[in-house]
Amino acid sequence: MADAVLDIAVEVQAAPFSMDYGYEATLQQRTDIGAIVSFTGLVRDFNETPDVTGLTLEHYPGMTERTLAAIGEQAWERWSLQAVRIIHRVGHLSPGDPIVRVLVASAHRRDAFNACDFIMDYLKTQAPFWKKEHSREGAYWVKERDSDQQDADRWSSSEP
Amino acid sequence: MQLTHLNTHGEANMVDVGDKHETRREAVASGRIVMHPETLQLLSDGALPKGDVLATARIAGIQAAKRTHELIPLCHALALSKVSVDFDVDHANGWVNVSALCRLNGRTGVEMEALTAVSVACLTLYDMCKAVDKEMRIEAVQLDSKRGGVRGDYQRAPTAAPIVTGEGATGEVRLGERSVSPCVRVKFLAELRERVGQSDVTIPLDKLPSRDVAGLKAALAERDTRFSVLSDQRALCAINQVMANDTSRITDEDEVAFFPPVTGG
């Protein structure tokens, strides 16, 4: 095959992961990779209320993994990529914990930057995760943001 | 339902696809090969006599997909735009899961190609490992999903996986009960689960005024006024884990989930 072999991995897990998780698994012994762009999302201690003490992430097993893989594949078709890794935590998380991590490898940096941005925008608006924040005043479900949808819409208005 | 490969005399014949429109077609198939834990360990250590087992099986699967028409008598030769074969070494269960995805823009489906890729990848795994294990078993070769084409999309109903709920650490597994009469299994997730006060309900299909999502909402609202929240514009819906809307059709044993807009990341 002329195309690079599709290399997309998705992990949805309750276990914590570190901020540098995924680099070695992405690189392996490869020497054709020119750029790795990674994004790590963390739990903030302020959001809809000023003192968030933690949050619980619910998801829809099966659909979650499938949706994340489909987002990775869309990025793969749109840009010239060498590897895509998407890791997302579920269950209980504390402020400061990494919640999501996306790694994109490509020969040249622009593809990796764009694809990583795209994957996060689509993940936030399509993947079936729901956050419940816990604060001293009690727990509440986090509301979706219009700005997230606007960010995702950027990718359908123009070609890269 | 008619078998398309039989003509009016019941004889085998190749379907003329010349008048069909070209659409983007995609199919995903999977299967597994069960083996002794020791064999699996040798495989993942790369210590088997024939060398890199998974890389070889991957190429075998891809090659097989491209040659499906030479193996299956009435299959058309297709110019596949993409074939991928992936492995998941599962030490806990003692097997290797194999999945294959095939895609093309064309006039016929690609499920035979995906199934052939899985089958031949499994056979190659067997060949590569048979020196140390003769009791391996190839099983559960199946079509998982199929998109594009006049008959619409197909998605195999997922095997039961636990839902991570807001209560407890990560647990709370509740699955819709099985029923003998045709029925639809409904799940409510996140805030919607809390608002309707339950996570699962099973509705007999004949209670639906129409066999679509709108009909299901009507049947639920009839049962309990709390379900009227499902008609809120913010309530989203998926059938067998694929996004759906009010006009999407519902059939026996479908899993329908209702949930609010997503807030992950």
The C-alpha of B161 sits at a distance from chain A's nearest C-alpha, in angstroms, of 6
Q: Vertex B25, ends B216 and A62: CA angle to 5°?
A: 50
Q: Which residue of B161, B189, B261 is in closest CB contact with A58?
A: B189
Whole-prediction pTM:
0.59
Tens of pLDDT along A14-31?
A: 999 999 999 988 888 889
Judge whether A59 is closer than 8 Å to chain B, CB to CB. yes
Residues of chain B with pLDDT under 70: 1-2, 158-180
Is A85:A102 a contact under the CB 8 Å cutoff?
yes
Three-state DSSP class for residue B249:
strand
pLDDT at residue A159 greater than cutoff 70: no
For B161, counting Cβ atoms within 10 Å of its Cβ (0-12 exposed, 13-18 middle, 19+ buried), the class is middle
Note whether B164 contacts A90, CB cutoff 8 Å: yes
Mutate to test the interface with A, among B24, B167, B196, B263 (most CBs of A within 10 A): B263
Give the single-character DSSP code of B238: E
Tens of pLDDT along A97-144?
A: 999 999 999 999 999 999 999 999 999 999 999 999 998 888 999 999
pLDDT on residue A90 = 96
Q: Which residue of B58, B164, B263 is in closest CB contact with A144?
A: B263
| pLDDT mean across residues, chain A | 92
Annotated active-site positions of B, please? 127
Query: Which of the four pLDDT bands, split at 50, 70 and 90, describes residue A60?
Result: very high
Q: Vertex A69, ends B155 and B108: CA angle to 5°?
A: 45
Crossing angle, helix A63-78 and helix A109-126, to 10 degrees? 150
Is A93:A57 a contact under the CB 8 Å cutoff?
yes
pLDDT at residue A46 greater than cutoff 60: yes
Cα torsion A84, B57, B138, B71 to 10°: value is 110
Distance of CA B100 to the CA centre of its chain: 11
> Nearest chain A Cα to B55, which residue?
A5
Distance in angstroms (rounded) separating the CA atoms of residues B34 and B231: 46
Beta strands B95-106 and B82-90, pairing class: antiparallel
Crossing angle, helix A146-157 and helix A109-126, to 10 degrees? 130
pLDDT on residue A57 = 96
The percent of residues above 70 in pLDDT, for chain A, comes to: 95
**Residue linked to tokens 């990025």:** A75
For chains A and B, CB pairs below 8 A equal: 99
pLDDT at residue A1 greater than cutoff 80: no
The C-alpha of A110 sits at a distance from chain B's nearest C-alpha, in angstroms, of 22
pLDDT on residue B171 = 39
The b/e string for B197-220 (b: 16+ C-beta within 10 A; e otherwise) is: eebbbebebeebeebbbbbbbbbb
